[in-house]
Amino acid sequence: MTTVYNFSAGPAVLPKAVLEQAQAELLNYNGTDMSVMELSHRSSSFVDIIERAEQQLRDLMHIPDHYKVLFLQGGATQQFSMVPANLAKGQKIQYVNTGSWATKAIKAAQVLEDVSVEEIASSKADGYTSVPDFAAEAVDPEAAYLHITTNETIGGVTFHEIPNFDGVTLVADMSSNILANDYNVEDFGLIYAGAQKNLGPSGVTIVIVREDLLKEDTSLPDFFSYATQADKGSMINTPPTFAIYMVGLVLEWVAAQGGQEAMYKHAKERANLLYDYIDQSDLFVNNVKVENRSYTNIPFLTNDPGLDKKFIAEADAAGFKQLKGHRSVGGMRASLYNAFPLEGVKALVEFMKAFEEENK
């Protein structure tokens, strides 16, 4: 069988060791003779799972005690509405628009009646191939917060430096580069991330929120209130128990690999290997401004849609799976999240070289 490398943007590749552990424990979790899927979320076994997952994330991201960690449902998409509803009622929100996901976040906030939305910068004019410049004066300390998408999963654009303004609360959609960066949690008021890119399977969303931003708001349904979710330990209702268990296993694996610092180092190594080849290639290009290039999602194309299609088909047959670019941009995209092995990038580069040789 050919070796398969999975370049999916999400749900994405998981560490093999984690899948093997889940398999080994599937029918009998920790001597219970029951699967994790069959355990009550109120059982001591599951409470131990969620508490350990939280502690592991705190250790890996160096999350201070005055931040809450929540395990919610609804994906990052639900957070597009939940953050404004909780943090910005009657106030203004500012956004930096770096691409598809930021645009979705903006649209979701615009439908809320009691918040006002201001886009302070956008890279739409360059096809979302950069982080737009914006003047410090454009940032309003009176706004509830400034929202950024730290990594645009479709465009492959990243904030390698986090903008920092005195007295301005920063909210970040970190779905596609959480734990694959060198950010400092204390630079943010709130961070959210769907698990299915860097942290585990789909079904659970991590929210890290500074305690002073939690307000009791009786006009919000409990389920949508961070304050209530925090108060109830993310268990207002039945949480996605198996997904949380899997996130816990992935986080243990990350710790064993050397933690966030090692993940960040590996992410740079993987990405640079691919960018170095693309930049000297006469066939493949990546159009993102060099200093904003993502380490986790690398779009590339040949500038010939027919050739892109051929590449994707031949790559697929050779074991390089899910390399098709997002339908909104076409071309190819290699998503290289934490669990993606370096050998897979080396093999892809060799494959691309051979393809270039044959098709130039």
Ligand X SMILES: *Cc1c(COP(=O)(O)O)cnc(C)c1O
Chain contacts with ligand X (rule: CB under 6 A)? 10, 75-77, 101, 149, 153, 173, 175-176, 194, 197
C-alpha torsion sign, points 280, 282, 286, 291:
positive
**296 touches 230 (CB < 8 A):** no
Catalytic residue among 104, 124, 133, 173: 173
- Confirm whether 173 is a catalytic residue: yes
Ligand-binding site membership of 135 (annotated): no
- Confirm whether 89 is a catalytic residue: no
- In the complex, minimum distance from the CB of residue 153 to ligand X, in angstroms, rounded to a whole number: 3
Ligand-binding site membership of 42 (annotated): yes
**179 touches 161 (CB < 8 A):** no
Catalytic residue among 65, 92, 101, 114: 101
**99 touches 152 (CB < 8 A):** yes
Residue of minimal CB distance from ligand X? 75
- In the complex, minimum distance from the CB of residue 328 to ligand X, in angstroms, rounded to a whole number: 13
Give the integer Cα–Cα distance in Å for 9 and 285: 19
The separation between CA 207 and the C-alpha centre of its own chain, rounded to angstroms, equals: 12
- In the complex, minimum distance from the CB of residue 81 to ligand X, in angstroms, rounded to a whole number: 11
Catalytic residue among 68, 197, 253, 324: 197
Question: Rounded to the nearest 5°, which phi and psi values hold at 20?
Answer: -65, -40
Pick between residue 172 and residue 283 the one whose CB is nearest to ligand X: 172
Ligand-binding site membership of 196 (annotated): yes
Ligand-binding site membership of 77 (annotated): yes
Pick between residue 11 and residue 163 the one whose CB is nearest to ligand X: 11
- In the complex, minimum distance from the CB of residue 195 to ligand X, in angstroms, rounded to a whole number: 8
Q: What count of other Cβ atoms lies within 10 Å of the Cβ of residue 329?
A: 18
Give Cβ neighbours of residue 262 (< 8 Å, ≥ 6 apart). none
Q: What count of other Cβ atoms lies within 10 Å of the Cβ of residue 253?
A: 18
In Å, the largest CA–CA distance within the chain is 65
- Confirm whether 253 is a catalytic residue: no
Annotated binding residues for L-glutamate, written as ranges, equal 42
**Binding site feature residues:** 42, 76-77, 101, 153, 173, 196, 237-238
The catalytic site residues sit at 101, 173, 197
